[in-house]
Amino acid sequence: MAENWLYDAHPAMFRSNPLLFILLLISVVGILGLGIWYIKSKGERLALSDSEILLERGLLSKQRTQLALSSVRTVRITQSVFQRMMGVGNIEIFSAGDYAEIAIRGMPDPNIVRELTARRTH
């Protein structure tokens, strides 16, 4: 004989403990976000030699921009207050045109790039 249940349900995850649910959701999304951020940051590289500047982007497919130091006209460093406190900044390197040939965000010690570039071009 079949029972006629008047109430049939499973425990409510979100409504029974919303704070725990939100923390778990944020942590999963946060860990995934940190992983993507890490991979993206490892996929960008700015290198400076005695004669050229190299910007590489990508892990599997690569985009490379090389610029001779002798053709560098301007190096622009921009830093917000928070970036200055953390010792990072955005670097833009110009040669002939109005647009930066090399632009990269969040680089550590950006003024070192400006100083090294100035020493090599003068």
| pTM reported for the whole predicted model | 0.74
* Shared domain check, 71 and 53: yes
Counting the structural domains of the chain, the total is 2
Q: What is the C-alpha separation between 47 and 32, in angstroms, rounded?
A: 28
CA angle 50, 89, 92 (to 5 degrees): 55
Q: What is the C-alpha separation between 112 and 62, in angstroms, rounded?
A: 25
What pLDDT tens digit does each residue of the chain (122 aa) get?
A: 556 755 556 666 666 677 888 888 888 878 888 888 888 888 888 998 888 888 888 888 999 999 998 899 999 999 999 889 888 889 999 998 889 999 998 889 889 888 888 887 66
Return the sign of the alpha-carbon dihedral for residues 39, 114, 81, 101.
Answer: negative
Q: Which domain holds residue 70?
A: 43-121
- Report residue 29 as tokens: 């999304």
* Shared domain check, 26 and 71: no
